[in-house]
Amino acid sequence: MKLLILGGTMFLGRHIAEAALRRGHSLTLFNRGRHNPELFPDVEKLRGHRDGELDALRGRRWDAVIDTGVQVPRVVSESASLLAPAVEHYTFISSLWAYRDFPDCPGLDEGMPLRKLDEPHPERITAETFGPIKASGEAAVSAAMPGRALILRPGLIVGPYDPTGRFAYWPRRVAEGGNVLAPGGPEFRVQLIDARDLAAWIVDLLESGRVGTFNATGPVEPLTMGGLLEDCRSVTGGDARFTWIDDEEFLLQAGITLELSPWIPKAPGVAAVDCSWAVAAGLTFRPPTDTIRDVMSWDMSLPAPARRGGINREREADLLQAWNATRGRQTPQLYPAGGGTRG
């Protein structure tokens, strides 16, 4: 197949490109060339900007396009409308945040209502507008490519090349050992997906010409914070011991919101999304230990200043001290890393 990726050099797009090339597909990347331009030296690269600089795409044809970016609806509509006569299939990477009731409502499936924009033509992507913008992007693609659109709604995507470092923090921190602040309690449920599993599945769907809408997170078996951190300890071989802080208000008052994801406070539905349609359509998940091992290897290959995510040791120590002080303890209540379970 001749595939066009809008992006293709950052995180998920990079993994999609790698998966497509492994399967022998012909690939074209369209981006500004500002991020990792040295990647894929044998791949055709078209330069431009999603916002008004699309001339490089004109007069060309591909079998399918994959849109991995976060763009305002106007920009998504421009790209989809331009490419509609030039491609047979359009994959749009949306988000679970497109749902009106995410992350408050457990059990969300693909038929649940979506968010709506408060302003008709937003030009800024913020935490408040991200979900509505994704929902509006879905509508723009579906309008331009009726019956030819594949909409995927992932949640937390993890894996090598993640510029946020939000998952890499955990194997890095557990490998350092000592007293680790662990949020939510050992039984706190989490959902996530390795970008490589998502990328491989996307290529599968393209090859079969699949259309429709799918939630895209996992794994199939329930995963808990205890199980995840136990896996980190198993992979890293460290002597980490966990202090579980299960008081969401304590962490929120300390300013912790998304720094310790996949724990997310005040979000009962964030780890209870229905992904049965995706699994039935062939989505599979590698063991968490494989993701942990590969993410740690990638993270350790970076220079120290480039390692991101989580909280620093000083802030962690301050939080642990405050937590123990509120409970009248002089020393932390520690749990061995093996105390967590998978659920």
**CA 303 – CA 7 distance, rounded (Å):** 25
| pLDDT (tens digit per residue) in 129-149 | 999 999 999 999 999 999 999
pLDDT value for 122: 81
Give me the residue spans of the domains in the chain: 2-154, 169-191+220-271+287-339
8 Å CB contact between 336 and 241: yes
For the segment 187-204, the average pLDDT, to the nearest whole number, is 97
pTM: 0.92
Q: Extract the runs of DSSP E, i.e. beta strands, from 147-306.
A: 149-154, 157-158, 179-183, 189-194, 212-216, 218-224, 241-245
d(CA 146, CA 108): 24
Could you read off the pLDDT of 79-95 as tens digits, one per residue? 999 999 999 999 999 99
Q: What is the mean pLDDT of the segment spanning 8-25? A: 97
Q: pLDDT at residue 194 above 60?
A: yes
pLDDT at site 331: 43
Minimum mean pLDDT among 68-77, 146-155, 180-189, 275-284: which range?
Answer: 68-77
Instruction: Say whether pLDDT at 189 is over 50.
Output: yes
Confidence (pLDDT) at 332: 41
**Burial class of residue 64 in the structure, from the number of CB atoms within 10 Å of its CB (0-12 exposed, 13-18 middle, 19+ buried):** buried
Give the whole-number percent of the chain exceeding pLDDT 90.
Answer: 88
pLDDT number for residue 328: 62
Answer yes or no: is pLDDT of 342 > 80. no
* Tens-digit pLDDT profile for residues 326-340: 886 544 444 444 443
Say which residue the tokens 């995840």 belong to. Answer: 228
- Spell out the residues 6+ positions from residue 97 whose beta carbon is closer than 8 angstroms to its own: 103, 115, 130, 131, 134
> How far apart are alpha carbons 258 and 260 in whole angstroms?
6
CATH number of 2-154: 3.40.50.720
Which tens digits make up the pLDDT trace of 239-290?
Answer: 999 999 999 999 999 999 999 999 999 999 999 999 999 999 999 999 999 9
In what order do the strands lie in the sheet containing 189-194?
A: 157-158, 189-194, 218-224
Residue linked to tokens 């309690």: 185
Residue 25 has pLDDT above 60, yes or no: yes
pLDDT tens-digit series, residues 210-242 = 999 999 999 999 999 999 999 999 999 979 999
Residues 31, 248: Cα–Cα separation, whole Å = 41
